[in-house]
């Protein structure tokens, strides 16, 4: 199954992606995680990506496409979840072509909706495991054991530099200009399912499981 998660920054895409990875064995392709891995390598490309991300902007399409192609080819399962990609109609059409080359197609697109004022609370409370990138929240999604990552056991955590109110405003502007049109694109293809992500985590998880059980 090929699944795509759409939604503004802070809507819960990463949290729900991790849930499907842990419980259903999905290969979680998060462009954010893939790009951060490159940034941590301190390569020239990584430094370029870091500057772009820290300014609240999106990374060049071709860079992301190359990373996605490589990751898709290396995936050990055909149950793949795209989180944070595509972010534009150009990327969406390019992804269709990449999948077609491998005799794959998108089965379902989940669009998460949430009020903007709630996004500020979610974004400013987020923090990540330094070692594996897993996302947590200081109020509603803490590690099961305080100070220890549920996924890798890491003990180092950090708040992302772009998780500020000012950066969020920039990212939301770009989202509504570039990514929001994808909702109609996938709706016209009959692939779109909308979920209100302002609900509690368990309700959202239950709805997502109901969606994937259809396939």
Of 21, 87, 122, 134, which is the active-site residue? Answer: 87
Tell me: is residue 86 an annotated ligand-binding position: yes
Q: Is 122 among the residues known to form the active site? A: no
94 touches 61 (CB < 8 A):
yes
d(CA 15, CA 84) in angstroms, rounded, equals 12
Q: Which of 21, 122, 126, 134 is catalytic?
A: 126
Is 133 assigned to a binding site? no
Q: What are phi and psi of 100, to 5 degrees?
A: -60, -35
The catalytic position among 160, 170, 187, 205 is: 160
Q: Is 207 among the annotated ligand-binding positions?
A: no
Tell whether residue 171 is among the known ligand binding residues. Answer: yes
Q: Is 87 a catalytic residue?
A: yes
State the virtual CA torsion across 91, 93, 98, 104 in degrees, nearest 10.
120
Whether residue 56 is annotated as binding a ligand: the answer is no
84 among annotated binding-site residues: yes
Say which of 70, 139, 142, 171 is annotated catalytic. 171
Determine whether 214 is an active site residue: no
In angstroms, the first-to-last Cα distance of the chain is: 7
12 is in an annotated binding site: yes
Extract the tokens encoding 215. 């396939």
Residue located via tokens 């902007």: 57
Neighbours of 79 (CB within 10 A): 19
Whether 126 is catalytic is yes
Q: Is 122 annotated as a binding residue?
A: no
- The verdict on whether residue 91 carries a ligand-binding annotation is yes
Annotation-wise, does 135 bind a ligand? yes
- List, in sequence order, the alpha helices (H) in the chain: 13-24, 31-40, 44-54, 61-74, 89-101, 116-124, 165-174, 182-188, 201-212
* Catalytic member of 13, 21, 122, 134: 13
**Residues 38, 74: Cα–Cα separation, whole Å:** 16
Is 189 catalytic? The answer is: no
Is 108 assigned a ligand-binding role in the annotation?
no
Of all helices (H) and strands (E), which one includes residue 29?
strand 27-30
Binding site feature residues for ATP: 10-15, 126, 135-136, 199
Binding site feature residues: 10-15, 31, 36, 57-59, 84-87, 91, 126, 129, 132, 135-136, 149, 152, 160, 171, 199
Binding site feature residues for Zn(2+): 129, 132, 149, 152
Residues serving a catalytic function are: 13, 87, 126, 160, 171
Binding site feature residues for AMP: 31, 36, 57-59, 84-87, 91, 160, 171
């Amino acid at each position: 199954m090929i699944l795509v998660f759409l939604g503004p920054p802070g809507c819960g895409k990463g949290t729900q992606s991790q849930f499907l990875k842990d419980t259903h064995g999905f290969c979680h392709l998060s462009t954010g995680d893939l790009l951060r891995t490159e940034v941590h390598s301190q390569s020239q490309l990584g430094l370029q990506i870091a500057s772009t991300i820290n300014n609240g902007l999106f990374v060049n399409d071709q860079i992301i496409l190359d990373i996605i192609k490589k990751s898709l080819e290396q995936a050990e399962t055909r149950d793949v979840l795209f989180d944070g990609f595509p972010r534009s109609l150009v990327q969406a059409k390019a992804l269709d072509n990449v999948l077609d080359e491998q005799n794959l197609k998108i089965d379902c697109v989940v669009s998460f909706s949430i009020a903007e004022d709630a996004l500020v609370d979610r974004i400013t409370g987020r923090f990540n495991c330094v070692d594996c990138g897993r996302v947590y929240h200081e109020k509603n999604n803490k590690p099961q054991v305080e100070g220890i990552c549920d996924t890798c056991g890491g003990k180092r955590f950090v708040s992302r530099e772009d998780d500020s109110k000012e950066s969020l405003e920039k990212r939301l502007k770009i989202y509504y200009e570039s990514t929001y049109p994808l909702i109609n694109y996938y709706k016209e293809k009959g692939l779109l399912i909308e979920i209100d992500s302002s609900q509690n985590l368990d309700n959202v998880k239950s709805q997502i499981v109901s969606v994937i059980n259809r396939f």
